Amino acid sequence: MSASGAELLRRVKSQIEEVDPSEVNELIDEGVPIVDVRGSEEFATGHLPGATSIPRGHLESRIESSVPDRSAEVILYCASGARSAYAARTLQQDMGYKHVRSMTGGITLWKDRGYEVEVPRALTSEQRDRYSRHLLIPEIGAEGQQKLLDARVLLLGAGGLGSPTALYLAAAGVGTLGIVDDDVVDLSNLQRQVIHSTDRIGVSKVDSAEEAIHALNPDVNVVKYKTRIGASNIMEIIEGYDVIVDGVDNFPTRYLLNDATVRLKIPVVSASILGFDGQLSVFKPYEGPCYRCLFREPPPAELAPSCGANGVLGVLPGTMGLLQATEVIKLVLGIGEPAIGRLLLYDALGATLTEVKVHRDPDCPICSRDPEDISDEELGVFPDYEAFCAAAG
């Protein structure tokens, strides 16, 4: 007489090893592979932290890519411990896995014991399509795309540098883009500020930028700050952002931004442009130098080219802004080697890129100290703060 389902399960369980959720909870931290053999829909509703989904029907064909070493320890689980018991027997008897165990009680018991459950957030089918070229790159993939969608990036200025940066970060699916700008679109901007358009002359730059961003990617949440960043509002604006893109056009704000971001430990991707020349560096507080390590003090007003209107090749902020966007994405994803401790000098006329080293200054007035020791009064301390640009004319 054939065995009943219950008898078969008892027999199978007697042939395999089981493991209690409490032990699995400890093994997770040791990096032991955990395989969820439920269906993919069940997996999507929540799974053990770090578990790999291999539905039981695909077990034999997919297990080797996740656990190639047959002598390695591997733990299987399902909803209640039945399917994973059958799966464990298959791996053990048919495929030669030596240390396979099935978790007692499945994820139901795991949850009852109050252990952590990870709920994966799946991309929508539209997002899979929109970001398909990212999903195809192993360094990004679905997980990286999710990081981009979760990222909060603040752009200081929707001008020459901010325009291309905002457009490409929006296209890449950066979920939240904050934009600080108190200016309105002017005809003379359009030679380089490609996020704006002729029919939006006179419109505020943050509104114009939002319109372009939403036309490109409605997924992006645009947070508008129609103001100038200054000592009175900087902490409130920048707190909570993951990365700040700096296209600040004056020294007082540049130092203020540096000091505030060091205190909040927010990395800044900084670029500046003049004529045919551009500079770029990434200032990641406490991992690399800060702006004050690079330039302890600003030049006197007569030597500061930043205050009045200066000529710039229209394409140059595009080049430098896209280098900034690239660095932002690397920081968000944690890939590659961001330009931390390096200053890149781009000469558009010569078509050359030079790099110089930037070191942390052990005597830096700001980043040589703990962030909590930097007081409000010290932020952006700067000679002739108010008079600086007035003197430069």
Q: Annotated catalytic sites, by residue?
A: 307
Q: How far is the CB of 254 from another protein (least distance, A)?
A: 5
Map tokens 């909060």 to a residue. 152
Whether the CB-CB separation of 188 and 164 falls below 8 Å is answered with: no
Among 299, 314, 334, 336, binds another protein (CB under 8 A): 299
SS3 47: strand
3-state SS, residue 130: helix
Q: Is residue 288 a contact point for another protein (CB under 8 A)?
A: no
- Contact between 89 and 15 under an 8 Å Cβ cutoff? The reply is yes
**List of E strands, the chain:** 17-19, 34-36, 52-53, 73-77, 99-103, 152-156, 176-180, 221-225, 243-246, 268-274, 277-283, 342-347, 352-357
- Token readout for 362 is 């052990």
With CB under 8 A as the contact rule, which of the stretches 65-73, 93-101, 209-217, 266-274 interacts with another protein?
A: 266-274
- Contact between 295 and another protein by CB under 8 A: the answer reads yes
Residue 379 lies near another protein (rule: CB under 8 A): no
Q: Considering only the stretches 42-50, 68-76, 94-102, 357-365, report the one whose residues sit in contact with another protein under the rule CB under 8 A.
A: 357-365
Shortest distance, position 190 Cβ to another protein, whole Å? 13
Beta carbon of residue 322, minimum distance to another protein (angstroms, whole number)? 13
Cα 78 to Cα 41, 98, 106, 109, 121, distances in angstroms: 12, 20, 5, 10, 20
Q: Give the Cα separation of 136 and 159 in Å (integer).
A: 32
- Report if residue 272 touches another protein, rule: CB under 8 A: yes
Task: Using CB under 8 A, pick the residue from 161, 180, 328, 379 that binds another protein.
Answer: 161
CB atoms within 10 A of CB 127: 18
Q: How far apart are CB 209 and another protein at their closest, in Å? A: 13
Q: Which stretch binds another protein (CB under 8 A): 126-134, 259-267, 332-340, 343-351?
A: 343-351
Hey, which residues does 277 pair with through a beta bridge?
Answer: 274, 347
CA–CA distance, 343 with 187 (Å, rounded to integer): 32
Judged by CB under 8 A, which of 50, 96, 305, 334 binds another protein? 305
Residue with tokens 């493991």: 19
> Within positions 139 to 158, which residues make up the interface with another protein, using CB under 8 A?
157
Residue 306 engages another protein in binding (rule: CB under 8 A)? yes
Q: Is 322 a residue that touches another protein (CB under 8 A)? A: no
Work out the number of other CB atoms within 10 angstroms of the CB of residue 204.
Answer: 17
User: Given the structure tokens 């032990």, which residue do they identify?
Assistant: 23
Which range, of 73-81, 102-110, 235-243, 300-308, touches another protein by CB under 8 A? 300-308
Give how far the C-alpha of residue 166 lies from the chain's centroid of Cα atoms, to the nearest Å.
Answer: 15
Minimum CB distance to another protein smaller for 302 or for 370: 302
Q: Does position 178 bind another protein by CB under 8 A?
A: no
* Cα–Cα dist 289/336, whole Å: 18
Rounded least distance, CB 374 to another protein, Å = 20
Using the Cα atoms of residue 33, residue 36, residue 40 and residue 45 in order, give the sign of their dihedral. negative
Distance of closest approach, residue 316 Cβ to another protein, in angstroms: 9
202 lines the binding site for another protein (CB under 8 A): no
Q: Which of 312, 313, 333, 367 binds another protein (CB under 8 A)?
A: 312
CA distance 153 to 171: 13
Residues 298, 318, 338, 380: which binds another protein (CB under 8 A)?
298
Among 149, 154, 266, 294, binds another protein (CB under 8 A): 294
Using the minimum distance from each CB to another protein, give the nearer residue, 107 or 273.
273
Our finding on whether 380 is near another protein (CB under 8 A) is: no
Which parts of this chain interact with another protein (CB under 8 A)?
157, 159-162, 246-251, 254, 271-277, 279, 294-300, 303-306, 309-310, 312, 317, 343, 345, 347, 349-350, 354-359
